[in-house]
Chain A
Amino acid sequence: MRREGDMFFKVESEVRLALNKEQGIRKDMGWAIALHGGAGDIPLSLPAEMRKPREEALRHCLQIAVEALKAKVGPLDVVELVVRELENIPHFNAGKGSVLTSKGTVEMEASIMDGATMNCGAVSGLTTVLNPISLARLVMDKTPHIYLAFDGAQDFARQQGVPTLDSTHFITAHNIQRLNQAKQAHTVQIDYTQPIQNYTKKETLFANSDSQIGTVGCVAVDGLGNLASATSTGGLVNKMVGRIGDTPLIGAGTYADARCAVSATGKGEAIIRGTVARDVAALMEFKGLSLQEAATCVVHERTPKGTVGLIAVSAKGEVAMPFNTTGMFRACATEDGYSEIAIWPAAQVE
Chain B
Amino acid sequence: MGGWAIAVHGGAGVDPNLPLERQEEAKQLLTRCLNLGISALRSNLPAIDVVELVVRELETDPLFNSGRGSALTEKGTVEMEASIMDGPQRRCGAVSGLTTVKNPISLARLVMDKSPHSYLAFSGAEHFARQQGVEVVDNEYFITPDNVGMLKLAKEANTILFDYRIPTSGYETCGSGVESPLQMNGLPISVYAPETVGCVVVDREGRCAAATSTGGLMNKMTGRIGDSPLIGAGTYACNVCGVSCTGEGEAIIRGTLAREVAAVMEYKGLGLQQAVDFVIKHRLDEGKAGLIAVSNTGEVAYGFNCNGLFRGCATEDGFMEVGIWE
Q: Which of B154-188 contact A (CB under 8 A)?
A: 161-162, 164-165, 167-168, 171-172, 185-186
- In the complex, what distance in Å separates the CA atom of A141 from the CA atom of B128? 33
**A242-B221 in contact given A118-B285, A249-B231 (Cβ < 8 Å):** no
- Over the window 266-281 of chain A, the binary record of Cβ atoms lying under 8 Å from chain B Cβ atoms (1 yes, 0 no) is 0011001111001100
The answer, yes or no, to whether A88 is at the interface (CB within 8 Å) is: no
Chain B interface category by residue count: 35 or more
Stretch at the interface among B7-15, B108-116, B145-153, B195-203: B108-116
Q: Which of B120, B121, B260 has the most CB of A within 10 A?
A: B121
With A124-B121, A278-B263 already in contact, 15 other A-B pairs whose C-beta atoms are closer than 8 Å: A151-B223, A159-B164, A194-B114, A196-B116, A199-B91, A236-B117, A242-B128, A244-B117, A245-B117, A245-B119, A249-B230, A250-B256, A272-B232, A286-B263, A286-B268
Stretch at the interface among B25-33, B246-254, B291-299: B246-254
Whether B223 pairs with A149 at a CB distance below 8 angstroms is: yes
The answer, yes or no, to whether A147 is at the interface (CB within 8 Å) is: yes
Q: Return the contact of B224 from the options A145, A244, A255 (Cβ within 8 A).
A: A145
Q: Which residues of A contact B254 (CB under 8 A)?
A: 118-120, 146, 250
Task: Enumerate 12 A-B pairs (CB-CB under 8 Å) in ascending A order.
Answer: A118-B255, A119-B254, A142-B167, A143-B221, A150-B122, A155-B223, A159-B164, A240-B124, A245-B117, A252-B232, A272-B119, A273-B90
CB distance from A225 to the nearest CB of B (A): 19
The answer, yes or no, to whether B225 is at the interface (CB within 8 Å) is: yes
Whether A241 pairs with B116 at a CB distance below 8 angstroms is: no
CB distance from B193 to the nearest CB of A (A): 16
CB distance from A105 to the nearest CB of B (A): 10
Whether B223 pairs with A150 at a CB distance below 8 angstroms is: yes
Whether A241 pairs with B123 at a CB distance below 8 angstroms is: yes
Q: Which of A92-131 contact B (CB under 8 A)?
A: 118-120, 122, 124-125
The answer, yes or no, to whether B44 is at the interface (CB within 8 Å) is: no
Q: Which of B94-142 contact A (CB under 8 A)?
A: 94, 96-97, 113-125, 127-128, 131-132
The answer, yes or no, to whether B92 is at the interface (CB within 8 Å) is: yes
**A282-B263 in contact given A146-B249, A148-B225, A149-B97 (Cβ < 8 Å):** yes
Whether B121 pairs with A125 at a CB distance below 8 angstroms is: yes
- In the complex, what distance in Å separates the CA atom of A342 from the CA atom of B255? 33
CB distance from A261 to the nearest CB of B (A): 14
**A199-B89 in contact given A242-B121, A250-B230, A251-B233 (Cβ < 8 Å):** yes
Q: Which of B14-59 contact A (CB under 8 A)?
A: none
- In the complex, what distance in Å separates the CA atom of A275 from the CA atom of B92? 12
Q: Return the contact of B267 from the options A202, A239, A286 (Cβ within 8 A).
A: A286
Number of CB contacts from chain A to chain B under 8 A: 180
Q: Which residues of A contact B161 (CB under 8 A)?
A: 144
- In the complex, what distance in Å separates the CA atom of A199 from the CA atom of B267? 27
Whether A148 pairs with B221 at a CB distance below 8 angstroms is: yes
CB distance from A234 to the nearest CB of B (A): 15
Whether B116 pairs with A189 at a CB distance below 8 angstroms is: yes
CB distance from A269 to the nearest CB of B (A): 5
The answer, yes or no, to whether A243 is at the interface (CB within 8 Å) is: yes
Whether B114 pairs with A269 at a CB distance below 8 angstroms is: no
CB distance from B63 to the nearest CB of A (A): 25
**A244-B121 in contact given A249-B230, A273-B90 (Cβ < 8 Å):** yes
Smallest Cβ-Cβ distance to B217: which chain A residue: A145
- In the complex, what distance in Å separates the CA atom of A119 from the CA atom of B118? 25
- Over the window 216-238 of chain B, the binary record of Cβ atoms lying under 8 Å from chain A Cβ atoms (1 yes, 0 no) is 01001111111000111100100
The answer, yes or no, to whether B311 is at the interface (CB within 8 Å) is: no
Q: Which residues of B contact A205 (CB under 8 A)?
A: 116
- In the complex, what distance in Å separates the CA atom of A297 from the CA atom of B182? 43
**A240-B120 in contact given A145-B221, A145-B250 (Cβ < 8 Å):** yes
Whether B121 pairs with A149 at a CB distance below 8 angstroms is: yes
The answer, yes or no, to whether B264 is at the interface (CB within 8 Å) is: yes
Whether A144 pairs with B118 at a CB distance below 8 angstroms is: no
**A150-B97 in contact given A119-B254, A193-B131, A243-B120 (Cβ < 8 Å):** yes
Q: Return the contact of B256 from the options A152, A194, A240, A278 (Cβ within 8 A).
A: A278
CB distance from B317 to the nearest CB of A (A): 31
Q: Which residues of A contact B256 (CB under 8 A)?
A: 250-251, 255, 275, 278
The answer, yes or no, to whether B259 is at the interface (CB within 8 Å) is: yes
Whether A240 pairs with B115 at a CB distance below 8 angstroms is: yes
Smallest Cβ-Cβ distance to B122: which chain A residue: A150
Whether B132 pairs with A150 at a CB distance below 8 angstroms is: no
- Over the window 224-261 of chain A, the binary record of Cβ atoms lying under 8 Å from chain B Cβ atoms (1 yes, 0 no) is 00000000000010011111110001111001000000
- In the complex, what distance in Å separates the CA atom of A202 from the CA atom of B232? 21
Whether A282 pairs with B223 at a CB distance below 8 angstroms is: no
Whether B96 pairs with A149 at a CB distance below 8 angstroms is: yes
Whether A144 pairs with B162 at a CB distance below 8 angstroms is: yes
The answer, yes or no, to whether A57 is at the interface (CB within 8 Å) is: no
Q: Which residues of B contact A338 (CB under 8 A)?
A: none
Smallest Cβ-Cβ distance to B250: which chain A residue: A146
Q: Which of B119, B120, B171 has the most CB of A within 10 A?
A: B119
Smallest Cβ-Cβ distance to B133: which chain A residue: A193
CB distance from B236 to the nearest CB of A (A): 8
CB distance from A153 to the nearest CB of B (A): 5
Q: Which of A156-206 contact B (CB under 8 A)?
A: 156, 159, 189, 192-196, 199, 202-203, 205
